[in-house]
Amino acid sequence: MSDMRMMYQEVILDHNRKPRNYGRIEGANHHADGHNPLCGDSIHLTMDMEDDLIRAVAFEGEGCAICKASASMMTGAVKGLKVGEAEDLASRFRGMTTGTLDMKDEQRLGRLRVFEGVKDLPSRVKCAILPWHTLLAAIHSVQAASSEGKDDPIQEA
Amino acid sequence: MNPEVIRADFPILDMKVNGQPLVYLDNAASSQMPQPVIDRLMRYHTSEHANIHRAVHYLSETATREFESAREKVRSFLNARESREIIFTRGTTEAINLAMHGYGRAFLKAGDEIILSALEHHSNIVPWQMLAHEKGVILKVIPMDDDGVLIQEEFYKLFNANTRLLALTHVSNALGTVNPIKTMISHAHQYGVPVLIDGAQAAPHKALDVQDLDCDFYAFSSHKLCGPTGIGVLYGKAELLERMQPYQGGGDMILSVTFEKTDYNVIPHKFEAGTPAIAAAVGLGAAIDYLQAVGLENIDRYEQGLLDYATVRIRELDRIRIVGTAREKAAVLSFEVEGVHPHDVGTILNDYGIAIRTGHHCAQPVMQRFKVPATARASFAFYNTRSEVDRLIEGIIRVQGIFQ
C-alpha cells in the first residue's frame, strides 16, 4: 500500500469530516494554542483538569485533514487519563510518527496507529504531532505550542 | 518549439516518483536543469576551476574569463548597457537585500516613503521592513482587486514629495499576475522615484530589456531559469551603483587597504566581496545560452498556451476555485479544492508522481487578501506538456474522490 492510501484511510477522513470534541469547553481551566506555520494549521485547545486527571479536552481551528483528524482522535484518547499517562501516550505518538518507536509490541496507541504511515511523509509529521504538542502545552499551562524551533519533531528525530 | 525535443534535454524529467512518471509542476519554486547546463558545470569543475581575479596562473585566468563571460551573458540577457551593471549575488533575496543596504540604508531617512505592492513575495517586503524599523522609513502598499490585479488609480495616489523608492514584483509568484511595470516605472520616474523590480518569476518566461523598461534595479535568480542554485543577479544603473555603499566588506571589493582606510574597487566588484559562486555563475551563463537558443518569445508563447489549456481544464471541474484571475498572467495556476486543505491535495498528488507547491508561497499578505491560509499552486515551464496537465486534472479528481 502506498503512503497516501495508508494515510488517507476512512478513519482519518471520517475524523476530518466530523471532528469529535470540536469547540470549546466553557470554564476550562487549561488551554493552549498550537500553530504550524508551514501548513497554516492552527488549533485552540481547551481542557478541563481536576488535579492530575484529564476530564475533557476540546479543540477548534483550521487545519489539514491529518492535523484535524489527529486532534479529534487525541481528544478522545486522553479523556479520563492521568497527566503521566497522557504524556506517555504523547511520547509514544511522537515516536511512532517520527519512526523511532518499535511498533512490534506497541499496545498503548490502539486506534492512533492509523497515523503510523505519516512517518514516511516527513513534511506531514508536524501536522500529526501538533495537537499532541498543544496538549502538552495546555497540561503545563504554556500558552502557545509550535511545530518549529525546539519543538520541531524533524530536528529532534 | 517541440516540447518532446526539449524534454529530452532534461534528464530529471525521466524519473519516476512513487512508481509514476514524474510530473514536475513546481517551476515557480525552482526549475530543472538541462543537460548542457549540467555538462557545463561538469566541465568547469573538471578542467577550469581556480579562484578568480587573483592569480596569474592558467586556471585562475580561465576561471576569471569564464566568470566574466557569464556576466556578459547576463548583460545580453537583460539588454543592460554595460556588463559592470551586473552584480552577482546568491539570488533574488540577496540582490534585494543588497539594494536595501547599499541604496536604502545609505540614502533614506526618517519620514521617507517606499511603495510596495500587495503582490510581493516576503523577500521584497521584509528587507524594507527592516529598513523601516531602523530608519523610521514608511512603507505604503499598492492594493489589488479580487482578480489579483494591482489597482492603478490607488497606485497613483501613493506618491508624494516623500516617496523615495518603488519596489515592485514583475510577476506574482503566488498568483501569476504580470504587472504593467513599464508604465508603473514611468509613472514613478515622473516623481523622480527610482524603481526596483523583483524579476524572480519573470526572468524565466519573458524576454527582458532593462533599458526599454528603464527600471533602476532588476533582481532575479538563476535556479528559476534552468540554472544552478546559489547565484542570482542585481542589475543596477551604473550611475546609481557608483553612488551606493558596499553591502559587505572583504576581498575582491577593494583597491587598497591599510588599517586606516580602504579604497573600494569599481563596480561591479565593489559589491562582490569574497569568492563568489564561480561555478554557479558559469552554469547560469550556460542556462541563458540554452534559453536564448530556445527563444524567450517561443517559451512565453508555449507556456501561455499551456496555461490557457490548464485553466480551461480545471474550470471544467466542480468545487474548484482559481485564486488569481488576472488577464495578464504567467504560467501559474493557484487554486483551492473546496473542502480539502491544500497540503492534503499536495500529498495525494505526490502519490501520483505530481509535484506542486502547497502553502502560502512566501506571500502571506496575498493569502490574507484572499482569505485563505494556503493554496495549491501548479506552475509550468516550457518542458511541461498538455498530457501532464491532464495528469494534474486526473489527480485533482482523485483528491475529490477521496474527500467526497
User: Residue A143: its pLDDT value, please?
Assistant: 63
Q: What is the DSSP letter of B96?
A: H
The per-residue DSSP string of B347-374 comes to HHHHHTTEE-EEE-TT-HHHHHHTT-S-
CA–CA distances in Å: residue A74 to residues A52, A55, A60, A132, A135: 17, 13, 13, 7, 9
Q: What is the mean pLDDT of residues B315-335?
A: 97
Q: What is the mean pLDDT of residues B241-250?
A: 92
Q: Is the pLDDT of residue B247 over 90?
A: no
Residue of B16, B336, B343, B357 to mutate, testing the A interface (most A Cβ within 10 Å of its Cβ): B343
Cβ contact B99:B246 at 8 Å: no
Residue of A nearest to B347 (CA): A4
Residue B362: active-site member: yes
Residues B347, A39: C-beta atoms closer than 8 Å: no
Angle CA B94–B96–B97, to nearest 5: 60
Q: Could you tell me what percent of chain B has a pLDDT over 70?
A: 100
Cβ contact B85:B332 at 8 Å: no
User: Residue A39: its pLDDT value, please?
Assistant: 72
Residue of A6, A8, A62 to mutate, testing the B interface (most B Cβ within 10 Å of its Cβ): A8
User: Residue A37: its pLDDT value, please?
Assistant: 78
User: Residue A157: its pLDDT value, please?
Assistant: 38
Residues of A in contact with B347 (CB under 8 A): 4, 7-8, 121, 123-124
User: How far apart, in whole angstroms, are the C-alpha atoms of residue B361 and residue B177?
Assistant: 14
Helix-, strand-, coil-residue percentages of chain A, each rounded to 5: 50, 20, 30
Confidence band for A6, pLDDT divided at 50, 70 and 90: low
Cβ contact A135:A74 at 8 Å: yes
Q: What is the mean pLDDT of residues B8-37?
A: 97
User: Residue A149: its pLDDT value, please?
Assistant: 66
Q: What is the DSSP letter of A82?
A: B
User: Residue A113: its pLDDT value, please?
Assistant: 94
- Collapsing DSSP states into helix, strand and coil, what is residue A72? helix
Cβ contact A80:A53 at 8 Å: yes
Of the candidates A2, A13, A65, the beta carbon closest to that of B341 is on: A65
Q: What is the ipTM of this complex?
A: 0.84
User: How far apart, in whole angstroms, are the C-alpha atoms of residue A135 and residue A131?
Assistant: 6
Residues B373, A62: C-beta atoms closer than 8 Å: yes
Q: What is the mean pLDDT of residues B286-298?
A: 97
Q: What is the mean pLDDT of residues B293-298?
A: 97
For chain A, give the mean pLDDT: 88
Residue of A nearest to B339 (CA): A17
The separation between the first and the last C-alpha atoms of chain A, rounded to the nearest angstrom, is 24
User: How far apart, in whole angstroms, are the C-alpha atoms of residue B77 and residue B290?
Assistant: 11
Q: Is the pLDDT of residue A1 over 50?
A: no
